[in-house]
Chains A and B, each alone.
Chain A
Amino acid sequence: QSVLTQPPSVSAAPGQKVIISCSGSSSNIGNNYVSWYHQLPGTAPKLLIYENNKRPSGIPDRFSGSKSGTSATLGITGLQTGDEADYYCGAWDSSLSAWVFGGGTKLTVL
């Protein structure tokens, strides 16, 4: 069982918006930065969001991140079929002295 909690799956139609949640505790999300990754089938994870809400160069502004208390969210607008992937949140856990991840959310663009 993952330390961070994500919904197993979300779905929406092309062009629509989806939000993926990530719930943790004060030892991880509550006091450390959250980062988000997406993973296409058979490929390595790729950074989408770092430090809660910052986008690396090359990531379109359709992707956004936010954090409030011990929860974080990833928002994706203008959904495209190419966005179908698994999405993971991650954060350092100060109590465990370890990186922890969510179990992953599979996004389906209907």
Chain B
Amino acid sequence: QVQLVQSGAEVKKPGASVKVSCKASGYSFTGYYLHWVRQAPGQGLEWLGWINPNSGDTNSAQRFQGRVTMTRDTSISTAYMELSSLTSDDTAVYYCARAPATVAWFDPWGQGTLVSVSS
């Protein structure tokens, strides 16, 4: 079945970077976009950006531009999201989610990766 499995929880200090992985299985990795969405504790969903695993093209939300880097390794069907210059406001669960197009729906979602930023 289609599945997205993310890397484990991370604890980082302010100013550091974090890299979260998302391994896809059960479908053609290069045939779908992968988006990154985060959810701060007790809060709603916030979109970070997408990557086209086929071309490597990316697009990110304006507020994260310059701070988020999305990459992929097609040989192992895995996408990565790296967020730099972390602050406590970046403490959240980070999800990857598959989409048939940049403006289409998200299905399925990864299980989420908790990133905690604390001094």
Do these two chains interact?
yes
Contacts of B61 in A (CB 8 A): 96, 98-99
A16-59 residues at the B interface, CB under 8 angstroms: 32-33, 35, 37, 43-47, 50-51, 56
Contacts of A46 in B (CB 8 A): 107-109
Cα-based distance from A43 to B108 in the complex (angstroms)? 12
Interface membership of B111, Cβ < 8 A? yes
Contact of B104 among A33, A43, A96 (CB under 8 A): A33
The answer to whether B59 and A97 touch across the interface, beta carbons within 8 angstroms, is yes
The answer to whether A100 and B44 touch across the interface, beta carbons within 8 angstroms, is no
Q: Residues of B within 8 Å of A, CB-based: how many?
A: 22
The answer to whether B47 and A101 touch across the interface, beta carbons within 8 angstroms, is yes
Interface bracket on A: 20 to 34
Chain B interface secondary structure, helix, strand, loop or mixed?
A: loop
Name the residue among B37, B102, B110, B111 with the largest chain A CB count within 10 angstroms. B37
Cα-based distance from A37 to B107 in the complex (angstroms)? 10
Interface membership of B16, Cβ < 8 A? no
Contacts of A98 in B (CB 8 A): 47, 61-62
| Known contacts A44-B109, A50-B104, A99-B37, then 11 further A-B pairs from the complex at CB < 8 Å, ordered by chain A residue | A2-B44, A35-B105, A44-B95, A46-B107, A47-B105, A56-B107, A96-B61, A98-B47, A99-B35, A101-B45, A103-B44
Chain B residues close to A by CB (< 8 Å):
35, 37, 44-47, 59, 61-62, 95, 97, 102-112
